[in-house]
Amino acid sequence: MTTLRDRNNTALLVIDVQNDVVAGAHNRDGVIANIASLVEKARVENVPVVWVQHTSEELLEGSDGWQYVAELARQESEPLIHKRFGDSFENTDLEAVLAERKVGSLIITGAQTDACILSTLYGAIVRGYDATLDSDAHTTEDLSQWGAPPPDKVIDHTNLFWGNHAAPGRRAGTVSTSSVDFG
């Protein structure tokens, strides 16, 4: 139901599943396994898989911590978006990559739930995309020492909130990995 004209395709967005980003993440292995199964399903169904990779002063381009985790391997034909801001659309070519593939609907996975995932969900919705969060394929680290809830509660709250989010002419929502339908 996207508000983008002639953009009927869906893409899988895999955000920042980089070594240092997910090193201490909640349910790291389970989330990565879910993302891997979605990537495989998308490839089998010829659904675009778009990878996003963050760079910052703490996450230096080319460093081992900046690399994607070994469990997830991008194919050369799959776009890689380099970003420096939380929203994967901000100051990147993500919009052009999606437009070229006639994508108007996104399934969003990755890390960190309360930063880049949430920013990208909002970024997608305000740009006219349908944005679905895979409820068991995103994660975050424990930031409770700085006043945040424990990571499992951050994830639960994000799923609850995004599952009930709405915008005119656009769909938001959540779906479990086992229920993802790229059609």
DSSP string covering the chain, please? Answer: --SSTT--EEEEEEE--BHHHHTT-TTHHHHHHHHHHHHHHHHHTT--EEEEEE--SSS-TTSTTTSBPTT----TTS-EEEESSSSTTTTSSHHHHHHHTTEEEEEEEEE-IIIIIHHHHHHHHHTT-EEEEEEEEEE----GGGTPPPHHHHHHHHHHHHHT--BTTB-EEEE-GGG----
**Is position 1 within any domain?**
no
Contact 10, 105 (CB under 8 A): yes
The pTM of the full predicted model, rounded to 2 decimals, is 0.97
Report how many domains make up the chain: 1
- Taking every pair of Cα atoms in the chain, the longest distance, rounded to a whole number of angstroms, is 46
Give the model's pLDDT for residue 2.
82
**Is position 2 within any domain?**
no
Q: What are the Cα distances from residue 83, in Å, to 46, 54, 80, 101, 116?
A: 25, 5, 10, 20, 10
**Is position 56 within any domain?**
yes
**Is position 119 within any domain?**
yes
Which domain range does residue 151 map to?
9-179
Is the pLDDT at 183 greater than 90? The verdict is no
**Residue 81 corresponds to which amino acid?**
I
Question: Which candidate, 8, 12, 33, places its Cα nearest to that of 136?
Answer: 33
Contact 92, 55 (CB under 8 A): no
Cα–Cα dist 162/123, whole Å? 13
Which distant-in-sequence residues (6+ apart) come within 8 Å of 66 by Cβ? 18, 19, 20, 53, 55, 59, 60
Q: Can you give the CATH number for the domain in which 96 is found?
A: 3.40.50.850
pLDDT in tens, 69-100: 999 999 999 999 999 999 999 999 999 999 99
**Is position 110 within any domain?**
yes
pLDDT in tens, 15-45: 999 999 999 999 999 999 999 999 999 999 9
Is the pLDDT at 1 greater than 80? The verdict is no
